[in-house]
Structure 1
Amino acid sequence: MLNLTGVLDRGHARLRYRDLPGPRGPVVFTHGAGMDHSMFDSQVLDLHGAGYRVVTWDLRGHGASTLAGDVRFEAAAALADLAALLDHLALDRPVLVGHSLGGNLSQEFVRRHPRAVRGLVVLDSTWNTGPLTLVERLLLPLAAPVLALVPASGLPARLARASAVTPAGVAACEAAFTAMPKRRFLDVWRATTTLVAPDPDYRTPVPLALVRGEHDRTGNIAAAMPRWARSDGVREYVVADAGHVVTVDAPERTARLLRDIIAGWETDERNEAGTA
């Protein structure tokens, strides 16, 4: 696991991050609900080895980042944390890579600050602004109450088996979920749903890549991501033999894929500059 050597105080929260220097453009990784920065270790080290400046961090109340015990996790505060971190590090148009909740937060950041971002990679996350079917609208608010019925002692293992399909992936997920109290996890889950706000006229204004595990069965991701790809006219990358947490089920393949995607955007940007 990469050590998070940086600290950013945010009042009720203290964020821990790692900023790995490099001559190529910055890439910022934001993890999913209940996980922490270690889910990206393989991809962070791969991109840093390729020369990119890479930032990885733990969301408030996750991993090494703290949150005051009487403060509830809210999506708006986590989004403000992301903005504060980018400002603190003076990052020039980073590529945002977000998984699950991190993907929802990254989508919303791009929507609010499109000129501040070079590109967006969404891993195993639903489409914030996409249309919802009647069934999806009915199920969305029910997920947290259903999870609340699961005993705290059995919740981490159940979530891990639903998130990963490889033994290493299940073990990594269970370790992360065990570290978070059930009450906070339910807060985090509820916060995720607040970022879903259908808007039929919205299209992602920056280069976009959509990635999911072949066996991801979380929420409506497997159905929504292909619709999103068609709507925005981009490719959907499906990683074989991987579940919801694609970065731990298929770490090397996901690392190569991210490197190829980001390098391709760099080439496109240079070509556009050359013809301008």
Structure 2
Amino acid sequence: MLNLVNKLPLDGCDLRYADSGGAGTPVVFTHGAGVDHAMFDAQAGHLRARGFRVIVWDQRGHGLSRPAGTPFTAERALADLSALIAHLALDRPVLAGHSLGGNLGQALVRRNPHLARALIVIGSTWNTGPLSWSERLLLKLAAPALLALPAGRLPELMADASALTPAARADARRAFSQLPKRDFVQVWKATVELVAPDPGHRTPVPLCLIRGDHDRTGNIAAAMPRWARAEGVEEVVIPDAGHLCTQDNPQAVNTAIDTFLHTLTAREER
């Protein structure tokens, strides 16, 4: 876990972040709902060693960015991410997001295509993809199902559903334990707000799609292959990994990101 020594005060919350600095291409990592920046420890160290400028942060109400100050909503989360990019004066960073972080990245580049040079989406559904009746029903029932779970068991249940390896599950339990159940449900509702089917939309920046081969979260396993085909990109499926593939199999995720960033650099140099 990195020491997030920097603070960005926004609407009653001190957003905590770490910035490696330097002149390399900036990469902003945004974690998923209920967890925190620690899920990207392996990727952050890997890219820093390769000369990239790496930024990790804890979203409002998560990790070290507590108390939240204001209720968590999709619009507030998007404003926070935009404010962090502006605060650091980042020039077209690569946005790398897991789950909710991937949903936020999709929404941000759709609103402002010139903000980012590329988008890496890890274990996240396709914001604008078509939804079947069963997928719509799943989204509708998820929040009530979460509310029905005993608060004391939620961190363990979420961790077991999100990761395969003992180390990844242990860290997930640590992270999920920091977020009260009512707050987690609020964050989940915000995630659903970002899902807005528009099948004709195409990502306006280079796109990398990554998911764990055992990811059974929501409709990710079904939606991401459809998304990859629609965009004409390769979907990278990480072996021996669940939803938290960055921790279940960090080396394979690092390789996938390396390959994408190398291709991106070569494209920009042409």
Q: Normalising to structure 1: TM-score of the pair?
A: 0.96
- Give the equivalent residue in structure 2 for 1:164: 163
Deviations 1:229-248 (A, max 9, x none): 00010010000000001111
Indicate whether 1:49 and 2:49 are aligned.
yes
Is residue 39–residue 247 contact of structure 1 (8 Å, CA) maintained in 2?
yes
Q: Secondary structure at the residue paired with 1:155?
A: helix
Output the CA distance in 2 between the equivalents of 1:200 and 1:177: 33
- Kindly provide the amino acid, as one letter, of the partner of residue 18 in structure 1: A
Farther-moved stretch of structure 1 (78-87 vs 166-175): 166-175
Shift of 1:201: 1.7
- Give the equivalent residue in structure 1 for 2:6: 6
- Kindly provide the amino acid, as one letter, of the partner of residue 5 in structure 2: T
Is residue 159–residue 172 contact of structure 2 (8 Å, CA) maintained in 1?
yes
**4+ runs of 1 displaced by more than 4 Å?**
none
Output the CA distance in 1 between the equivalents of 2:83 and 2:228: 30
Output the CA distance in 2 between the equivalents of 1:222 and 1:16: 32
Unpaired segments of 5 or more residues in structure 2?
none
Output the CA distance in 2 between the equivalents of 1:177 and 1:183: 12
Number of residue pairs matched by the alignment = 270
Shift of 1:12: 2.3
Q: Secondary structure at the residue paired with 2:261?
A: helix
Shift of 1:24: 1.9
Shift of 1:68: 4.4
Q: Secondary structure at the residue paired with 1:24?
A: coil
Shift of 1:4: 0.6
Q: Secondary structure at the residue paired with 1:17?
A: strand
Output the CA distance in 2 between the equivalents of 1:266 and 1:67: 39
Is residue 60–residue 68 contact of structure 2 (8 Å, CA) maintained in 1?
no
Question: How do residues 1-276 of structure 1 correspond to structure 2 at under 5 angstroms?
Answer: 1-68=1-68, 71-271=70-270
Output the CA distance in 1 between the equivalents of 2:89 and 2:78: 17
Deviations 1:140-194 (A, max 9, x none): 1210100111101111100001000111111111111011111101101111000
Farther-moved stretch of structure 1 (21-30 vs 94-103): 21-30
- Give the equivalent residue in structure 2 for 1:274: none
Deviations 1:206-234 (A, max 9, x none): 00010000000000000000000000100
Q: Secondary structure at the residue paired with 1:154?
A: helix
Q: Secondary structure at the residue paired with 2:188?
A: helix
CA RMSD of aligned residues (A): 0.9
Output the CA distance in 1 between the equivalents of 2:178 and 2:250: 22
Output the CA distance in 2 between the equivalents of 1:175 and 1:66: 15
